[in-house]
Amino acid sequence: MRIGGINDMLKTYNQKKVYNNSTVNEVGKKRDEMKVSGEAQMFSKILQAAKKAPEVREEKVNSLKNQIEKGDYQVSGDKVADRMLNEFYFERKS
């Protein structure tokens, strides 16, 4: 049995295909979209404001330094004890 026309079949496979560029361009025009909730936008603004704020409140530090130097700074033992107990309680709870 003889198979003929192999050269014609090979020509078919060797042809360069030309694609319509309009479909490629249409895909390129589409863009991803992302919607951010109002809560996320608000959180972002708060985070940016917090980043801009100084870590140390200079006014408070200077005020306390002045009070300590003058001997006017009074520490309440009850407040200190309350804060220590609260810190201990919250650390154990976590």
Among candidates 66, 69, 86, 88, which has minimal Cα distance to 78?
86
Question: Domain extents for the chain?
Answer: 57-94
pLDDT at 42: 93
State how far Cα 77 lies from the chain centre.
Answer: 42
| Tens-place pLDDT, residues 64-77 | 999 999 999 998 99
Per-residue pLDDT band for 36 (boundaries 50, 70, 90) equals confident
